[in-house]
Amino acid sequence: MALSQGRVKRYFKAFCKGFFVAVPVAVTFLDRVACVARVEGASMQPSLNPGGSQSSDVVLLNHWKVRNFEVQRGDIVSLVSPKNPEQKIIKRVIALEGDIVKTMGHKNRYVKVPRGHIWVEGDHHGHSFDSNSFGPVSLGLLHGHATHILWPPERWQKLESVLPPERLPIQSEEDCLHGSP
């Protein structure tokens, strides 16, 4: 009996030690490196949730990449909604700071993206609450870069950073630096 109680006590002690190490490591990983998120809604169709309301894609969000605001045109990013800080939204980066973008329904036909901001849009135009509604978004609102679809299994894939040709900026910062019109 005493031997059995000793084993239980050692097991419990080892479990507690492991638990108190594993939990902070897991929390730090999920907060700083990567996490998974379920995508809801139709704003990113057909890239995400192509089946509509019948299914929701689950994506891997890389926090590490956006920690230094390392985003490119075409990246799919998660960010805090500029209109509702309690909500996270997922959109495609269309333009970077210094770019001039032709808007779709924004109050201004053309917008120059200010320093420290990006222009984001959903892939399903007309069904997306995006920069065309709220304007350029501060880089400080970035939450993660969606890199892979993890669920459902038949949709496992790496998400490519592709910018639709019709959404290219009118003029980019690089064009200005290299002397292009």
Catalytic positions, please? 43, 91
- Say how far apart CA 83 and CA 91 lie, in whole Å: 14
Amino acid at site 27: V
Q: Of 133, 149, 168, 155, nearest to 61 (Cα)?
A: 149
The SS3 call for residue 56 is coil
Question: Smallest Cα–Cα separation from 142: which of 173, 162, 113, 117?
Answer: 117
Nearest residue to 161 (alpha-carbon basis) of 83, 84, 95, 75: 75
> Cα–Cα distance between 31 and 34 in angstroms, integer?
7
Give the integer Cα–Cα distance in Å for 77 and 92.
6
Residue 153 · residue 163 · CB < 8 Å: no
